[in-house]
Amino acid sequence: MRYEAPDVLKARIRATLADTSRDAADQRALVPLPRGRIWPSMLAAAAVVAIVSSGVTFEATRHSGAANSVEQQVLSSHIRSLVPGHLTDVASNDQHNVKPWFNGRVNMSPDVPRLDSLGYPLIGGRLDYIDGRNVPVVVYTRRQHVINVFSWPATGAPDLSPESSTANGYHFIHSRHNGTEAWIVSDLNVGELEDFARLLTPPPR
């Protein structure tokens, strides 16, 4: 993986190397010095550059790795749910049955809109375990395709516009809005899955 260094870091590196070169040139003009005298300063500057660059790369890798880990957990849960008998803990096409079922089982009651008339019938919900916590999963279908909607509190995290990704033939939509993080996963085609995501969380008026 490659990460572009920020412009501020590039400027600091150039300034450090330029200062080192000027100091070395001034010293050579005044008193000839053995070549070995210049290397300690240049090595010190190189060490600073390496340490700062490593820190930037580590932070970028850490955040990317965390997102990938959650995506893998969501995918594994989705695949497990397709095993007969694992899709729902409460089987119902009535949002007034599904939403209250989560009360007392998780610390957030998910939105359960009724989308049957739009071609995405609700079939129930279940509990799952993602990123070290119990999370609610609301289950819809589109023809023969299962759509799992995972959600959990995202206290203090900034909003995130829906982002699409694909892994192992499954499609994901990840978003964060009003303190709630959501992952939608299905083998439904991307276009219809994005339509579903827009229906699930309509834009603010």
Looking at per-residue pLDDT, the higher value among 164 and 56 belongs to: 164
- If you average pLDDT over every residue of the chain, what do you get? 81
Q: Is 202 helix (H, G, I), strand (E, B) or coil?
A: coil
Structure-token pair, residue 33: 């010095």
* Through-space distance between the first and last CA atoms of the chain, rounded to whole angstroms: 40
In the chain, what are the domains?
A: 1-83 (no CATH), 87-200 (3.30.200.100)
Question: Which residue reads 């899709």 in tokens?
Answer: 87
User: What would the mean pLDDT of 175-181 be, rounded to a whole number?
Assistant: 91
Structure tokens at 142: 């589109």
Q: How many residues does the chain have?
A: 205
| Residue 195: per-residue pLDDT | 96
pLDDT reading at 123 higher than 90: yes
Q: How much is the average pLDDT of 37-58?
A: 52
Asked whether residue 64 carries a pLDDT value surpassing 80, the answer given is no
Rounded CA separation 161/197 (Å): 11
Cβ neighbours of 55 (radius 10 Å): 11
Beta carbons of 151 and 180 less than 8 angstroms apart: yes
pLDDT of residue 196: 97
Q: Crossing angle, helix 39-81 and helix 7-30, to 10 degrees? A: 160
User: What pLDDT digit, counting tens, does each position of 133-154 carry?
Assistant: 999 999 999 999 999 999 999 8
Are the C-beta atoms of residues 184 and 200 closer than 8 Å to each other?
yes
The band of 43, judged by pLDDT with boundaries at 50, 70 and 90, is low
Q: Are 191 and 142 in contact (CB under 8 A)?
A: no
Nearest to residue 45, comparing CAs of 14, 68, 90, 22? 14
d(CA 22, CA 30): 12
CA dist 158 → 93, 155, 175, 176 (Å): 33, 9, 10, 7
Between 36 and 166, residue with greater pLDDT: 166
Predicted pLDDT at 151: 96
**pTM (2 decimals)?**
0.67
Q: Please state the rounded mean pLDDT for residues 3-32.
A: 64
Assess contact for 163 and 174: CB atoms under 8 A.
Answer: yes
Tokens of 165: 């990704």
Degrees, nearest 5: CA angle 158-190-146: 95
